[in-house]
Homo-oligomer: A and B are copies of this chain.
Amino acid sequence: MNLPSKSKNFSEWYQDVVIKAGLAEYSPVKGSMIIKPYGYAIWENIQKILDKEIKKQGVKNAYFPLLIPESFLSKEAEHFSGFVPEVAWVTYGGNKKLGERLAIRPTSETIMYEAFSRWINSYRDLPLKINQWCNILRWEMRTRLFLRTMEFLWQEGHTAHRTEKEAVEQTKNALNMYYDFIRNYLAIETIKGIKSENQKFAGALYTSTLEALMTDGKALQMGTSHNLGQNFAKAFNIKFLDSDRKFKYVWQTSWGVSTRLIGGLIMVHGDDKGLILPPEIAPIKVIIVPIPDKKDNKIFIKKAEELKLSLEQLDISSEIDTTTNTPGWKFNEWELKGVPVRIELGKNEIKNKKLRIARRDTGEKIDIKARNIKEIVKILDEIQQNLFKKSAKFIKNNIYSPESYEEFKSILEAKGGFLKVGWCGDLLCEDKIKEETMATIRCLAEDKVFSKCIRCGAKAKHIVYFAKAY
């Protein structure tokens, strides 16, 4: 059950935690993964919370077809050329060769916007805000569980607006919704910003992003929100009759987060013992471990069940470990699975009407009186806060401002992190930096620009965050 050291062998540690904690596993279908019940339960929690937030923005869920005709996918040229290398094609249906091949959706702009062009006629039909929870397929053979797989699950929001201003607002609102969700539930701090042209969504005007920092110094894109401008509106002829009796193209946005978030959750919070799940997203918030003495087992199970019921009344999900494993084995197992709080129920605890509580994040042990069970709410809250603070501190401590390209490269090599530097705005410089250091522009900073390009020394056009990324 021993894991590799997280600090020494991050990549092996990650894969081992995912598999041993029972979150997911490689499927014999190359490029694909199986999301196991414990991993899927985290996704269900993400869905439950985020779905409410999405609906609060006036967005409605719907479902569009999985298969997209090539003629649809190719309507917006930039979009098509961006996605075509990643598409899986259906060419046979029920033993017959198809006249036109069908793409398994790599994203749903094109299939949705054909419908939008029929649904939208007047300014009264706007804004139109649709979301869908579904599976997505992008051809990919270098699999990393949750982070990079051929198929993944996500949510994709798509909106159409009357004015450019509204679309700009919606792009922001979606990103802020993700930012708050990732912060408040996943306990992860992120950097917000706009992507460089090179890194934007194929077909968008611009892409805004949230970038988190993993403890190995590499960035992970957690969610994106795209302002599509009128690019797709023109390709799909999505026009409305405005109140001035003129036909106009709509302004659009799209935005999404995926099962990738679970990868971030693991990498940011985990330690050498395994996962550490923030209570707000943990499928099991409290694990109750009865430690019976040899003679009588029943009283311990009974007490554990009473405790489970009391926790339920406080809206705290818990489970009882009723296996016959040794206490040590049980402790390890639930630490591996990252359950935020463990309650040990031994002879002493029952006799003295107390509960022994172990925090997963700090390892701290706390004794409380059994009747003060409400304190667990507070403890869970402290764990949540503590994990977020750690994440925020880590990101803050790992933003560097190198003054030379040499320093840039040596920081990147030694520590990774976000390198906040000037950039001339030239694609060539961006590409060269990637080639030479593997770092990409994660996003543009909003800072005013006084400095020079970190690589070529020309006048900088933007301050940007460079990082190696997943």
Contacts and interface: CB of A to CB of B under 8 A. Distances in A.
Interface of A: 25, 27-29, 32-37, 40-41, 43-44, 60-69, 72, 84-95, 101-102, 104, 111, 114-115, 130, 134-135, 137, 139-140, 150-151, 153
A92 B94 contact: no
Contacts of A36: 62
17 contacts: A25-B115, A29-B68, A29-B69, A32-B66, A34-B62, A37-B60, A37-B62, A37-B130, A40-B60, A40-B61, A66-B104, A86-B94, A88-B93, A88-B102, A89-B92, A90-B90, A90-B91
Nearest to A94: B139
Taken together, the copies of this chain in the complex come to 2
Contact of A35 (B62, B87, B135): B62
Nearest to A132: B40
Contacts of A28: 69, 72, 114
Given A29-B67, A33-B65, A94 B90 contact: no
Contacts of A33: 65
Contacts of A101: 92
A247 to B, nearest CB: 22
Given A37-B60, A139-B93, A29 B65 contact: yes
Contacts of A87: 93-94
Contacts of A61: 37, 40-41, 44
A93 B102 contact: no
Contacts of A153: 63
A361 B34 CA distance: 45
B94 A91 contact: no
Contacts of A27: 64-65, 111, 115
A84 B95 CA distance: 8
Nearest to A124: B323
Given A88-B93, A101-B92, A115 B64 contact: no
A60 to B, nearest CB: 4
Contact of A29 (B60, B86, B88, B102): B102
B91 A91 contact: yes
A86 B93 CA distance: 7
Contact of A104 (B86, B90, B134): B90
Given A34-B63, A65-B34, A137-B66, A88 B88 contact: no
Nearest to A95: B85
A21 to B, nearest CB: 14
A132 to B, nearest CB: 8
Nearest to A96: B139
Contacts of A40: 60-63
B65 A111 contact: no
A328 to B, nearest CB: 20
Most B CB atoms within 10 A — which of A34, A86, A140, A150? Answer: A34
A93 B93 CA distance: 16
Contact of A135 (B25, B111, B115, B135): B135
Contacts of A64: 27, 34-35
B93 A90 contact: no
Nearest to A139: B94
Contacts of A72: 28
A34 to B, nearest CB: 6
Given A84-B95, A89-B90, 9 more contacts: A28-B69, A34-B64, A36-B62, A37-B62, A37-B130, A41-B61, A43-B63, A90-B91, A134-B135
Contact of A115 (B34, B44, B89, B134): B34
A35 B112 CA distance: 11
A130 B36 CA distance: 9
A86 B96 CA distance: 10
Contacts of A115: 25, 27, 34
Contacts of A86: 94
A69 B135 CA distance: 18
Contact of A89 (B37, B93, B134): B93
Contacts of A151: 65-67
